[in-house]
């Protein structure tokens, strides 16, 4: 009986979680702001919220190249660290992206090969296609428990929607 009760409580806790997906271009200043908001939401509501980031670069060369570099960093287990640098104020030229990888102690030859050969382009294309399939057309776009929010909003606005979705009284 005790095991059944614990199982029911765990299922209730898991099902109470809400998902947040956000799509953005790491070269845009709006992405830095929304990324900070999502990180804070995930930290504050870690029990109730799961946050997922998807790349949605614009078709300009530097955006696509920076997005691909992020996928190459991910191949070496440095997605979060590399993303943190990218959403900062940085250059998105090929050589600068390689310098960032070097500064993060990524294997230089692997990273360079990945970037130059576009080895991880399939992963980037998965994010873009996923976004297009659910109607992403604007950077950034955030989905909080299925509700689509286009354009940049403040942390407080995102938080109010999360609280509403969770049923928290203000």
Q: What is the pLDDT of residue 87?
A: 87
Residue 6 has pLDDT above 80, yes or no: no
Average of per-residue pLDDT values in the chain: 90
Q: What is the pLDDT of residue 2?
A: 61
- What's the CA angle centered on 133, arms 127 and 134, to 5 degrees? 95
Assign 3-state DSSP to the chain and report helix, strand, coil percentages, each to 5.
Answer: 60, 15, 30
Q: What is the pLDDT of residues 75-134, one digit of tens each?
A: 999 999 999 999 877 789 999 999 999 999 999 999 999 999 999 999 999 999 999 999
Find the mean pLDDT for residues 39-46. Answer: 94
Q: What is the pLDDT of residue 12?
A: 47
User: CB 53: neighbour CB atoms within 10 A?
Assistant: 21
Q: What is the pLDDT of residue 88?
A: 73
Residue with tokens 């845009």: 28
Element at 148 (helix H, strand E): strand 147-150
Q: Which of 27-31, 36-40, 132-136 has the lowest mean pLDDT?
A: 27-31
Q: What is the pLDDT of residue 16?
A: 59
Find the mean pLDDT for residues 31-57. Answer: 95
Q: What is the pLDDT of residue 168?
A: 85
Residue 136 has pLDDT above 90, yes or no: yes
């Amino acid at each position: 009986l005790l095991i059944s009760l614990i199982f029911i409580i765990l299922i209730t806790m898991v099902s109470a979680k809400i998902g947040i997906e956000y799509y953005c271009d790491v070269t845009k200043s709006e992405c830095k702001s929304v990324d900070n908001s999502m990180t804070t939401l995930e930290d504050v509501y870690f029990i109730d919220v799961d946050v997922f980031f998807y790349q949605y670069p614009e078709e300009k060369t530097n955006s696509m190249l920076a997005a691909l570099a992020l996928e190459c960093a991910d191949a070496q287990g440095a997605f979060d660290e590399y993303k943190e640098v990218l959403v900062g104020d940085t250059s998105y030229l090929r050589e600068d992206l390689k310098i960032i990888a070097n500064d993060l102690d990524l294997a230089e030859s692997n990273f360079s090969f990945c970037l130059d050969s576009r080895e991880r382009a399939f992963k980037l294309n998965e994010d873009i296609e996923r976004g297009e399939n659910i109607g992403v057309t604007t950077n950034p776009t955030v989905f909080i428990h299925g509700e689509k929010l286009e354009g940049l909003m403040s942390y407080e606005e995102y938080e109010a929607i999360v609280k509403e979705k969770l049923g928290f009284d203000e």
